[in-house]
């Protein structure tokens, strides 16, 4: 079962071999929920979960689905290109639903932003923090985009 605390979900996921942690956020979700209603917004969040493969899909393990339209996903070790391709597929799947959203990005439909970070050793919590910063940056930049956390060199 999933908790409402990402740190707890990440700790439990620490028993698997993690490669990446990703956070996916439905853009302008609060405005969408106010416009469409709670049940419709929850259905959209379920669709987002399905787009990353449910509980054991192409991304790995769905860790948590939050009431604010965000989902946390952990992956097995994959290349950065593979992770981005999978996340892009989820992003385009949501956009291609063509659900009208007046407060959305330039597309005028519900879109998705994401942030993802590599898990270094057993530091999954740190990767979650980096993914959280990356998804916030994506949303602040206008949404409908993915940002990979890059460690400073």
CA distance 67 to 99: 19
Give, rounded to a whole angstrom, the gap between the first and last alpha carbons of the chain. 38
Instruction: Indicate whether 108 pLDDT > 50.
Output: yes
Q: What is the pLDDT of residue 1?
A: 35
- The pLDDT assigned to 93 comes to 86
pLDDT of residue 55: 41
Taking CA atoms, 85 is separated from 59, 82, 88, in Å, by 10, 5, 5
CA distance 93 to 108: 15
Global pTM value: 0.80
More confident site: 103 or 137: 137
């Amino acid at each position: 079962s999933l908790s409402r605390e990402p740190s707890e979900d990440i700790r439990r996921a620490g028993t698997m071999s993690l490669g990446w942690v990703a956070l996916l956020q439905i853009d302008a979700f609060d405005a969408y929920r106010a416009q469409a209603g709670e049940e419709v917004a929850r259905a959209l969040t379920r669709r987002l979960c399905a787009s990353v493969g449910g509980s054991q899909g192409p991304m790995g393990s769905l860790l948590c689905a939050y009431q604010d339209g965000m989902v946390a996903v952990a992956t097995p070790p994959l290349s950065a290109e593979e992770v981005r391709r999978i996340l892009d597929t989820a992003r385009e799947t949501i956009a291609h639903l063509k659900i009208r959203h007046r407060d959305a990005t330039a597309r005028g439909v519900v879109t998705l932003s994401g942030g993802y970070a590599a898990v270094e050793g057993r530091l999954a919590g740190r990767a979650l923090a980096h993914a959280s910063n990356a998804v916030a940056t994506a949303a602040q930049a206008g949404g409908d985009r993915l940002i990979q956390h890059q460690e400073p060199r």
